[in-house]
C-alpha cells in the first residue's frame, strides 16, 4: 500500500526560447522523475517525489533542466500537492494510446475500445517510471513487438513500472525477469503484474545489478534496458553474458546525440546493430548478439 501521507511536488516549466522545441522541456521534466507531462496555458507540468524543501528543489531542478535541455531562459515553479490530488490530475491528461498494430496502453479509468489491438497493457500513472507517455518507452515497445517469440525467456533491466516486462509476457514470453532497484517502483511494478494477470510469467527481482549479476540469468533470448546511457554502457558485458548466441538486445534512454557512441560501444562489445527507433529527441536501438 502507498503511504497515505505521501506528497508530490508539482513542477511547471516554460521557456520563450523553446516555443518550437516543446519536447525538450517535456523530456527534461521526465528526466527529473516525472511520469507524464501536460500543457497548461504555455506551462509544462509534471509531478515528482522529493525529500528536498521547495527552495532547494527549485534551485536544483532549474539547474538540471538548464543543463539537460541546453536552454538558459527557463522559468520554473514548484508547489506541494497531496498524492490524491496528483493522481486525479493525470486522469485528465492520459487516455488510450496505440503504440503499434498489436500493442496499446490503457489507464484503468478509460474504456477499452471495440477495435483494441491484441495486447492492451493496463497501466495507471504512479511512482514508477515507465509509461507510454515517454519516447524511450514507446521506442522499446515498438522494437519489442517485432522480436518477442512464443515461449521466450526475457530479462528487463531497470524495469520501472514493469510496462516492458508486461508487454513481453503478453506478446508470448513465458519467463520474464524484471529487475528494479527502487523500492517504490517495485511496489507499483508488483501491482501492475497482478492488474495485467502476468504474475505467473514475470518474476520481480528487487535490487541493483552489475555485469556479473546479469550473467547468472543466462541463457535468455532477449534483454531490454531503458535506463541512462552511462549505465547501459557499463552493463554491456553483462548483457552479452546473459544472452544466448543470436539473442536480441533493446537499449533505450538514449538521446539523439548519444546514439552514435552507444551504438559503437555496443557493436564493439560483440553485438550487431539491426534497427534504431527515433521518437523526438530519444533513440532506442535493437541489436543481436553476434
Q: Can you give the pLDDT of all 290 residues of the chain as single tens digits?
A: 344 456 778 899 998 876 656 677 887 887 887 766 777 778 888 888 777 788 888 999 999 888 888 887 889 999 887 655 555 655 655 678 899 999 999 988 888 899 999 999 998 865 445 566 778 899 999 999 999 999 999 999 999 889 999 999 999 999 999 999 878 788 889 999 999 999 999 999 999 899 999 999 999 999 999 988 889 999 999 999 999 999 999 999 898 989 999 999 999 999 999 999 999 888 999 999 99
pLDDT of residue 273: 98
Q: Is the alpha carbon torsion for 30, 153, 171, 288 positive or negative?
A: positive
Q: Which residues of 42-64 are buried (b: 16+ CB within 10 A; e: fewer)?
A: eebbbbbebeeeeeebbeebbee
Same domain for 148 and 49: no
Same domain for 135 and 85: no
Residue 73 lies in a domain: yes
Residue 43 lies in a domain: yes
* Residue 194 belongs to domain spanning: 127-289
pLDDT of residue 76: 92
Same domain for 167 and 56: no
Same domain for 214 and 131: yes
Residue 120 lies in a domain: no
Contact indicator for 74, 15 with CB cutoff of 8 Å: yes
Same domain for 58 and 166: no
Question: What whole-number distance in Å separates Cα of residue 290 and Cα of residue 271?
Answer: 5
Same domain for 265 and 139: yes
**How far are the Cα atoms of 156, 180, 235, 254 from residue 265, in angstroms, in the given order?**
20, 24, 11, 13
- Single out the residue in 73, 91, 109 at which a domain terminates: 91
- Single out the residue in 91, 109, 138 at which a domain terminates: 91
**Into how many domains does the chain fold?**
2
- Single out the residue in 70, 91, 112 at which a domain terminates: 91
Same domain for 257 and 149: yes
Residue 278 lies in a domain: yes
pLDDT of residue 229: 86
Residue 53 lies in a domain: yes
Same domain for 167 and 50: no
Same domain for 131 and 33: no
Q: How far is CA 22 from the centre of its chain?
A: 19
* Beta bridge mates, 106: 122
Amino acid at each position: 500500500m502507498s503511504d497515505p501521507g505521501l506528497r508530490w511536488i508539482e513542477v511547471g516549466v516554460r521557456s520563450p526560447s523553446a516555443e518550437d522545441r516543446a519536447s525538450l522541456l517535456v523530456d527534461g521534466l521526465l528526466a527529473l522523475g516525472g511520469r507524464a507531462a501536460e500543457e497548461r496555458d504555455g506551462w509544462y507540468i509534471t509531478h515528482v517525489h522529493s525529500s528536498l524543501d521547495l527552495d532547494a528543489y527549485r534551485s536544483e531542478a532549474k539547474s538540471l533542466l538548464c543543463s539537460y535541455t541546453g536552454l538558459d531562459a527557463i522559468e520554473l515553479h514548484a508547489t506541494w500537492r497531496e498524492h490524491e490530488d496528483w493522481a486525479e490530475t493525470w486522469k485528465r491528461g492520459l487516455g488510450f494510446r496505440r503504440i503499434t498494430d498489436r500493442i496499446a496502453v490503457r489507464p484503468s479509468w478509460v474504456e477499452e475500445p471495440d477495435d483494441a489491438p491484441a495486447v492492451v497493457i493496463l497501466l495507471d500513472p504512479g511512482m514508477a517510471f515507465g509509461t507510454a507517455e515517454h519516447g524511450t518507452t514507446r521506442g522499446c515497445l515498438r522494437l519489442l513487438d517485432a522480436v518477442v517469440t512464443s515461449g521466450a525467456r526475457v530479462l528487463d533491466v531497470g524495469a520501472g513500472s514493469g510496462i516492458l516486462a508486461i508487454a513481453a509476457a503478453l506478446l508470448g514470453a513465458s519467463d520474464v525477469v524484471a529487475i528494479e532497484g527502487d523500492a517504490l517502483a517495485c511496489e507499483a511494478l508488483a501491482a501492475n503484474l497482478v492488474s495485467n494477470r502476468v504474475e505467473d510469467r514475470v518474476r520481480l527481482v528487487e535490487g541493483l545489478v552489475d555485469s556479473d549479476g546479469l550473467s547468472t540469468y543466462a541463457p535468455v533470448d532477449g534483454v531490454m534496458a531503458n535506463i541512462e546511457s552511462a549505465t547501459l554502457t557499463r552493463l554491456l558485458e553483462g548483457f552479452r553474458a546473459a544472452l544466448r548466441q543470436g539473442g536480441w538486445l533493446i537499449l533505450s534512454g538514449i538521446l539523439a546525440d548519444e546514439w552514435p557512441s552507444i551504438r559503437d560501444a555496443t557493436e564493439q562489445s560483440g553485438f550487431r546493430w539491426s534497427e534504431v527507433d527515433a521518437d523526438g529527441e530519444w533513440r532506442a536501438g535493437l541489436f543481436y548478439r553476434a
